[in-house]
Structure 1
Amino acid sequence: MIEVVKLLLEKGAQVDVLDNDGWTPLHVAARNDNDAIIRLLMEYWADPYITCDDNLTPLAYAVRHDQRLAVKALVECGADCNIGSPGEFTALSLAARHGYSGTLELLIELGANIELLDARGESPLITAANYGHLKTAEILLQKGAHVNWEDYDGWTPLAIAARRGYGELVRLLLERGADQSIKKKQGASCSFSVIHRAICVGHVDVVRQLSDATDGQKPPMDTLGRSPLCFAVSHGRHAVVKLLLERESYQASLQDIYGSTPLGIAIRIGYESVARLLFNATKPSLDAGDLLGKSLRWWLSTVATPSMQELFDNLEKGADDTGSESDGNDEGGGMRAHCDICLMRIMRDQPRYHCDACLEADFDACVRCIELGEVLR
């Protein structure tokens, strides 16, 4: 085959001729992992930066399909491994995306920049975290990749791995010094820590690892002063609530900027098994007031469901069956449309007050809270 290609080139065949799909001979050689033909074509000045209809250069195509002989030949013959396909991934980010650890190591040996960002502002390590490729991430960290690099949206590798529930990857990043106190910013007025992000999607094992790594430090708060436990309550994450109460029970008494405790939030939202857990952990006075001037007893009598009211009647009498704490039937899918002050759900046909300047233009307040005189603090 190579003799035929060489003969055609010697007779004047156009080295960068395109087929109907925009493929050059160099693309075809890369697809077939034919390093000998790649080297021959490059001797005749084949252009390694022409993109096919899929917007891939020959090098990008070779990386995408884990063709290591082609990758090595292209780079050794002059293709710059730090130039990606226009508007797309770099060669190293492509390898990280697909988890091709061997190709990734080869590219690094050939001079690929481990911190070079792709068109979306992602470093190769962030890309590896996005797709959960543990071995790829480990190689990048061994080669010196910045463990706390943030993409254009403020996501770190640890925040991404935690959100997606990649427990082994979270463990690796923490071992390599990832800082979980770095917050992903939501506009100018709200930010969430790594553990808040993991709680949002209910990754209990990841929350456990992150909690272990804090070593008794004060828990991170979001902009509204809500602790990880408070966040778990508001999202109906029964298993996470139970975990945090076992490890950091003091969080149950922490108030947000409106004076609400996790128990008050559970009562208002209607999460009975979570409320039972919190009550039994703290034994609070139901007459203690929040910054809205209302007590837990007032919220129970005003907005709580009949079954929640019955639960607390029994709890105060000591007659509730605490064995049902483990039922976990409050496990939710996250917050729906809600008031950002009291966290109660706002139905589609209910009036609300909306602020375009707060919480990335996503702050809503129910009529009750506004009438009680509350605003975003």
Structure 2
Amino acid sequence: MSKISPLVAAILNDQYDLATLLLRYNAKVDQIGPLNRTALHESAFLGLENFVYLLLESGANPNASDIKQKTPLALAAQNGHLNVVEVLIQKGAHVWCESESGTILFDAAASGNPDIISLLLDHGADPNVPLYSGHLPIHRVAYHGHILALEHLIPVTKLNAVKESGMSPLHSAAAGGHAQCVEMLLKAGYDPNFMLHPRVRRNYDDERRSALFFAVSNNDLQCTRLLLDAGAMVNQDPMNCLQVALRQGNYELINTLLKSGANVNYYSRVNTNHFPSALQYALKDEVMLRMILNHGYDVKRCFDCPYGDSSHDYPPWTNSVIKDMVFCEVITVAWLKHLSAQVVRIMLDYTDHVSFCTKLKDTLEEQKQWPEICHIQRNARSLKHLCRLQIREHLSRLRLRAPVFISFLPLPPRLKDYLRYKEYDVFSQGSNA
């Protein structure tokens, strides 16, 4: 392993006069030390402009490469040392050099210094050279939230280079949680529905595609709203964005997605139940439960048990059992059965008469809500409730997913509210309280 030279030791200890003396007595200005770095590398890394100038005047090579192929310019740029970058460029440092971590412009994107970015671009640095992973400098500044640097890179980054990278800087900005960057990119014309290329998606277990998914995964309401307002489609990812929001329990985020048409009747790709998967995250929370029911959740699937009044005898453990777990099996497990009657009672607000299989009925009979459930089941539902069910049925669940459809109906506001189950909108009632 190379030892630190006296010249580098003088620099690291900020001994300018000693460094000058060593150079006067013919100290090797480009002597290689640890990591194959020269004295100029160390000075540039630390941003020591006076030492950099001294070394260059003494004949130091401005384009020497260390063990990772980084030049002094790359080290100065990545650490945001503008004055050192200026001196190195003036003395012949190449702006187009590449190291294991990418171009010098990509290194500069880490610090996000807009003046360094601008200087490198003015001297011919190419913003469209990707890292081996496909990332461009614009992706890096967007992820780190360097808004001024992003402003410099947007006009010079080619859309074809972005497409070839397989990811949009919107993905990066949303992943980093930087709403200002998201907004700037949207205003610049970046597509909110640009999907990750399959080779990029493979890096994520959930195979996410959209920038919206990154925002929702971060529980980031501001970025989510910006993307949705710009036209981001809400049901494009293999794992539904609504599922992520429900799992996090963020009411505002859930409400925002629902009002933008999130599909409440999605089925999870893993361990698919016989009923839409959104319910499993809302069983313990009436606010979330009412939110999905108000937006057209298919309640009937929950009472669609193939065993009915007969004994619930199951076949041996097979894939078909895992993929088609019925509601009565889920809600009657030991740690959920105490919720069963409350959940069923709420569901009855969104249905006509339903039939209970023996397994579900046996569990419900043990709960305090059972008399009320029996009363509802024995008596005819009100005509206005039945009319509401019929109208909502004719609207179809696709239209119920986007509440704006109901607003276009030629009906009085109070009737529209009734169709939307406004009296059961616990979330809005709590927000206005």
TM-score bracket, shorter-length normalisation: 0.5 to 0.7
Q: How many residues align?
A: 318
Q: 2:126 matched to which residue of 1?
A: 113
Q: 1:80 matched to which residue of 2?
A: 94
Q: Describe the shift of the 1:151–1:96 C-alpha distance in structure 2 as closer, same or farther (beyond 3 A).
A: farther
Residue 130, structure 1, aligned to residue 143, structure 2: yes
Q: CA deviation at 1:37?
A: 2.8
Q: Which amino acid aligns with 1:92?
A: L
Q: 2:57 matched to which residue of 1?
A: 40
In the aligned structure 1, how far is the partner of 2:178 from the partner of 2:170? 10
Decide which structure has the larger Cα Rg and report it: 2
3-state secondary structure, aligned to 1:282: coil
In the alignment, structure 2 segments of 5+ residues that lack a partner are: 1-14, 306-319, 350-371, 374-422
In the aligned structure 2, how far is the partner of 1:27 from the partner of 1:161? 32
In the aligned structure 2, how far is the partner of 1:167 from the partner of 1:271? 32
Residue 202, structure 1, aligned to residue 228, structure 2: no
Which structure 2 residues correspond to residues 230-245 of structure 1 after superposition, within 5 A? 230-233=243-246, 236-245=249-258
Q: 2:346 matched to which residue of 1?
A: 315
Q: Describe the shift of the 1:180–1:263 C-alpha distance in structure 2 as closer, same or farther (beyond 3 A).
A: farther
Q: Which amino acid aligns with 2:337?
A: P
Q: CA deviation at 1:81?
A: 1.0
In the aligned structure 2, how far is the partner of 1:247 from the partner of 1:71? 47
Q: Which amino acid aligns with 2:261?
A: E
In the aligned structure 1, how far is the partner of 2:132 from the partner of 2:260? 42
In the alignment, structure 1 segments of 5+ residues that lack a partner are: 329-377
Q: Which amino acid aligns with 1:312?
A: V
State TM-score, norm by structure 1: 0.67
Are the equivalent residues in 2 in contact too, given 1:233–1:265 (CA < 8 A)?
Answer: no
Q: 1:27 matched to which residue of 2?
A: 41
Q: Describe the shift of the 1:312–1:306 C-alpha distance in structure 2 as closer, same or farther (beyond 3 A).
A: same
Q: 1:159 matched to which residue of 2?
A: 171
CA RMSD of aligned residues (A): 4.4
Q: CA deviation at 1:98?
A: 1.2
Q: CA deviation at 1:124?
A: 0.6
In the aligned structure 1, how far is the partner of 2:176 from the partner of 2:242? 19
Quick one: which of 92, 96, 99 aligns to 2:112?
99
Q: CA deviation at 1:208?
A: 1.3
Are the equivalent residues in 1 in contact too, given 2:40–2:72 (CA < 8 A)?
Answer: yes
3-state secondary structure, aligned to 2:76: helix
Are the equivalent residues in 1 in contact too, given 2:273–2:325 (CA < 8 A)?
Answer: no
Quick one: which of 64, 71, 93 aligns to 1:49?
64
Q: Which amino acid aligns with 1:63?
A: A
Q: CA deviation at 1:305?
A: 1.8
In the aligned structure 2, how far is the partner of 1:303 from the partner of 1:55? 61
Q: 1:222 matched to which residue of 2?
A: 237
In the aligned structure 1, how far is the partner of 2:72 from the partner of 2:347? 72
In the aligned structure 1, how far is the partner of 2:343 from the partner of 2:266? 21
3-state secondary structure, aligned to 1:252: coil
Q: 2:72 matched to which residue of 1?
A: 58
Are the equivalent residues in 1 in contact too, given 2:264–2:278 (CA < 8 A)?
Answer: no
Aligned residues with identical type, % of pairs: 20
State TM-score, norm by structure 2: 0.59
Q: CA deviation at 1:5?
A: 8.1
Q: CA deviation at 1:316?
A: 4.2
Are the equivalent residues in 2 in contact too, given 1:253–1:261 (CA < 8 A)?
Answer: no
Q: 1:17 matched to which residue of 2?
A: 31
Q: Which amino acid aligns with 2:209?
A: F
**Greater Cα offset, 59-68 or 161-170:** 59-68
Q: Describe the shift of the 1:144–1:264 C-alpha distance in structure 2 as closer, same or farther (beyond 3 A).
A: closer
